Structure 1
């Protein structure tokens, strides 16, 4: 069923968010949005910072391009409420995604994840590769357990770096300097994103090079040139292990790649989807 669009929550590109609803799933009342329609499903996974509201610049354009766009707040984020009475905690985002897919009756779909959402997209792809029409990952180090990834990430993710405000760690300097309203909106979403006391969800299984080698669907990996968490050189370490991947870069974007440069990000994603 198509959900109506409302003016509430207009993002930096002037988009509108669909109305959402809860799905009662094992261990969680999962808040999601679904644009509905007969288009091919495109499921989107938000970063560790923020909620589905950070997809404001993507949902309407992707739906206008003919896709059935679905996104959800992960357990303990936004409006998704952990429910210990219906399932164990904290669960995994990957299994929550799979439960939502079954709840909505989806067969095969495109999967898009940015930053921490990219961790989950790779985890899901390694577990359920037969479900995916394509995989898209943006601005993510993938949370790989491989020593070369961990060593690189630990060097850039120092304790001093972690003490900085999230907007300095995640938003690129060009965007901070040119779009104060967009920065303020991103900070407001991030500061209200987490439920107090909700534990982080682990991956279903560790992400490894061998695991993602089983993801044989077409894949697009988009790096952000000004990303302090996952610079292009780090992303290339794991991206080349995907059997059928394309590589692209948005040069001035920071870790919040889809929020900072929505037009460039959307164009790259839609061009890729049209091909597959």
Structure 2
């Protein structure tokens, strides 16, 4: 089995296919590298497509100490995969937890990012609901450790931004729920406590966003309510960002509508690779409605 070694010694299992410019896919909390299968097949036809399991997701290591899990470590683990594969730069595509890791990779390792696709990113960002989010994450971790991942998956899979997948594709939903139920109890709980609960609100990261010049695509489903306003925030603040919203979609957009996801991301990567991705014209940020004042 191929493994990259993180800077603190944690081993990260990865898979790769294809040749060309490298694209690294970073999975969400409820997924793993298997949830990128449609993307590996599609992008592997013209790119060097890579997906890996985050720490806590076997066959990657699942450390028992919650201190081994954090937002910074999640971002640095992307760099560790690049280092192992001897890649100086790559396109980074992340969903949800992986979207946060992708954004923070841009903050911490901008020269190594050909582009950033930040999809389904925003849970816990609302400052008014910050403590509610942290409490719910802690309660979820406790429930997971008490009842096990299999029972946890039976509840988590039916969240308000997950039912869209079940309605569209019962087969894809069944695969998603089965794979979630196979995750590590301690790895998932520590990920909840160390990464999701402790990561900073996007609203506290405006200075870092303003300084981010890497070509960036913000992507969300229009029924992924916790991500819509944060998506607009990132579009407004990041000077190199574009925003795309997928209609009638919830959270797991890469498996809910893989054709649309692949098309949007593929077009973005093509613009970046051709050197045609723009920075925002400062005139577009005028306070005037018409430009007449």
- Counterpart of 1:219 in structure 2 is 216
Question: Per the alignment, do residues 174 and 82 of structure 1 end up closer, same or farther by CA in structure 2, a change over 3 Å counting?
Answer: closer
Where does the alignment leave 5 or more consecutive residues of structure 1 unmatched?
1-19
State the Cα deviation string for residues 90-119 of structure 1 (Å, max 9, x = none).
361112221221111111111111111111
Give yes or no for contact 1:136–1:221 (8 Å, CA) kept in 2: yes
- Counterpart of 2:271 in structure 1 is 275
Aligned mates of 1:157, 1:182 — CA distance in 2: 29
Deviation at 1:172, TM superposition (A): 4.3
- With normalisation by structure 2, the TM-score equals 0.75
For the aligned residue pairs, the C-alpha RMSD in angstroms reads 3.0
Count of residues paired in the alignment: 247
Aligned mates of 2:206, 2:161 — CA distance in 1: 28
3-state SS of paired residue (2:115): strand
Where does the alignment leave 5 or more consecutive residues of structure 2 unmatched?
144-153, 273-293
Aligned mates of 1:194, 1:240 — CA distance in 2: 38
Q: 2:255 aligns with which of 252, 259, 276?
A: 259
Deviation at 1:56, TM superposition (A): 1.1
Q: Which has the higher helix share?
A: 2
- Counterpart of 1:169 in structure 2 is 159
Larger radius of gyration between Structure 1 and Structure 2: 2
Q: 1:104 aligns with which of 81, 85, 90?
A: 85
Give yes or no for contact 1:43–1:69 (8 Å, CA) kept in 2: yes
3-state SS of paired residue (1:141): coil
- Counterpart of 2:195 in structure 1 is 202
Give yes or no for contact 1:170–1:255 (8 Å, CA) kept in 2: no
Give yes or no for contact 1:141–1:234 (8 Å, CA) kept in 2: yes
Q: Does 1:134 align with 2:115?
A: yes
Deviation at 1:45, TM superposition (A): 0.6
